Structure 1
Amino acid sequence: MTEYLDTPEARRIAYNLTPGTGPGVVFLGGFKSDMEGTKALALENWARAQGRAFLRFDYSGHGVSGGAFDEGAIGDWYEDARDVIMALTEGPQILVGSSMGGWISLLMAREHPEKIAGLVTIAAAPDFTEDGYWASFDQETRHKLESQGSVEVPSDYGDPYVITRRLINEGRTRLVLRSPLALPFPTRFLQGTADSAVSTETALRLLDHADGTDMRLTLVKGADHRFSTSECLTLIKTALAEVIDAQQ
């Protein structure tokens, strides 16, 4: 059943919490996605079958949470994740971050490592506002963004995305690939080679940049950004099982 948390930042966040043993699993979704996606629901069913605690939620401006998507930024969504994890979970958690959720899970790992027992990322997109959108904009688009406050960019998932000046500027204060990034817990990165949104180069850059003693990257030939075929879902569960086993 969907419940709501009112955060210290006065945002109303929708979530579904399955009770169970720890360490619990927290799913962090992607840019403009919600907690009803294939991966989130498949992992919830997996966790319930194991009697393991599981949390999924919608960032502000996403799904059925309060707020407007176009007014949000990476820092807001990081705060949403931090607030629900701190308020609704007990002890260290295993984070599963998909796309933008991968970036946010890395921010959690950097700012609150005491709450992280392990990490699984799926097509992680760290720093995508800077290295993806801003880097790809020509001078005309950059000028329009600065002068008008937003631009529209095509999306593979329906309506164009509205990229705001605040999203870009605030994102620059949340970058994780420009300074040391310690991941001192079991970490598994998953990446498809046919991903048109996040390149294998990004995955390799993250692997090379982060510092950890139990860190692996799995490249899946032909898998796309959704990473939600039955084979991909099995790989996610396998990665999760490895991280859980490493807790013993």
Structure 2
Amino acid sequence: MAAVVLAHCRRGLSQALGSGLVGVLSPKFVNGVRQKSGIQYISRPDLPKLAYRKVKGKSPGVMFLPGYGSNMSGEKAEALEDFCRSLGHSCLRFDYTGHGASEGIFSEGTIGTWKKDVLFMLDEVAEGPQILVGSSMGGWLMLLAAIARPEKTKALVGISTAADYFVTAFKSLPLQERKEFEDKGTWTIPTKSNEEGFFTVSLDFLREAENHCILHSPIPIACPVRLVHGLKDEDVPWHVSMQVAERVLSADVDVILRRHGQHRMAEKDDIKLIVYTIDDLIDKLTTIT
């Protein structure tokens, strides 16, 4: 199946797509220490500080949610910030607890932990309505956030959306294999998304994740939803995005399949498609308002 490419292109978009779509953030010195430009930290009572980058601008803003074990400095996140700058729209990207530059211990994190991070950033840092853009696990968190904060969520763009995926993938294992992991207390998941070639999650992580599963019933989300997925995704099958599309109550839902797309969706043409999709949504939302 060929990819659906949105041809509409607003003024300034072509400039944002130049040079591989990735902007170069110039370093600076703070108190004699070399730091990347724009990184900030926000404190929370009794919780780890979260690192983020924010560009102020018009509404709706764009808020990027990275995947499991990923961070706010990937190709997609930087391309979205460049794009938002080119159009004068606000952009927010951040690292979950235990990820990237944020405080906390990665192995102690849960879906609930990272959902709280997203809601905190929506409530305390994001200004005005947002288009949430979630990659992989970020797509799952994006949906949870939209359910919890419908007034702040104007549209959703899922990239290789991994809704419920840890739980459903574990339950689909052969009984004997599942029992072996349960006895060991951890599950090793093969992946091509990191250098190690696998993720390891605890059974406690999986049990906690069950509390946040959403594909077993209609998903109460009414805003526009766009789901981009690669047919070559070997981590999260594309039919997960189809399941999300079938269960979301919104009347405005599109699924865009990339014939050669893989899980990370980080090739130049993949990122162009994601940016075009967001650009189209911004145009739609600003025309409506």
**Aligned partners of 2:172 and 2:234: how far apart in 1?**
14
Choose from 153, 166, 169 the match for 2:189.
Answer: 153
The question of whether the paired residues in 2 share the 8 Å contact of 1:144 and 1:150 is answered with no
**Aligned partners of 1:207 and 1:9: how far apart in 2?**
37
TM-score for the superposition, normalised by structure 2:
0.81
Could you say if the C-alpha distance between residues 186 and 6 of structure 1 is closer, same or farther in structure 2, counting changes exceeding 3 Å?
same
The question of whether the paired residues in 2 share the 8 Å contact of 1:70 and 1:162 is answered with no
Matching residue of 1:135? 171
1:28 aligns to 2:65 (yes or no): yes
Matching residue of 1:106? 143
Answer with 192-201 or 149-158: which moved more.
149-158
Matching residue of 1:95? 132
1:219 aligns to 2:257 (yes or no): yes
Answer with 117-126 or 4-13: which moved more.
4-13
> Which whole-Å deviations, capped at 9, do the CAs of 1:22-75 have from their partners, x for residues lacking one?
111000000110111010001111111111100000111111111111111111
> Which runs of no fewer than 5 residues in structure 2 stay unpaired?
1-37
In structure 2, give the amino acid aligned to 1:106.
Answer: L
Q: CA RMSD in A?
A: 1.5
Matching residue of 2:54? 17
The question of whether the paired residues in 2 share the 8 Å contact of 1:187 and 1:243 is answered with no
Could you say if the C-alpha distance between residues 7 and 139 of structure 1 is closer, same or farther in structure 2, counting changes exceeding 3 Å?
farther
The count of corresponding residues between Structure 1 and Structure 2 is 247
The question of whether the paired residues in 2 share the 8 Å contact of 1:124 and 1:198 is answered with yes
Matching residue of 2:245? 207
Choose from 226, 230, 247 the match for 1:192.
Answer: 230
SS at match of 1:11: strand
The question of whether the paired residues in 2 share the 8 Å contact of 1:24 and 1:94 is answered with yes
Answer with 146-155 or 98-107: which moved more.
146-155
**Aligned partners of 1:106 and 1:142: how far apart in 2?**
28
**Aligned partners of 1:140 and 1:161: how far apart in 2?**
20
Deviation at 1:138, TM superposition (A): 4.0
Could you say if the C-alpha distance between residues 196 and 54 of structure 1 is closer, same or farther in structure 2, counting changes exceeding 3 Å?
same
**Aligned partners of 1:35 and 1:218: how far apart in 2?**
24
CA radius of gyration, larger in: 2
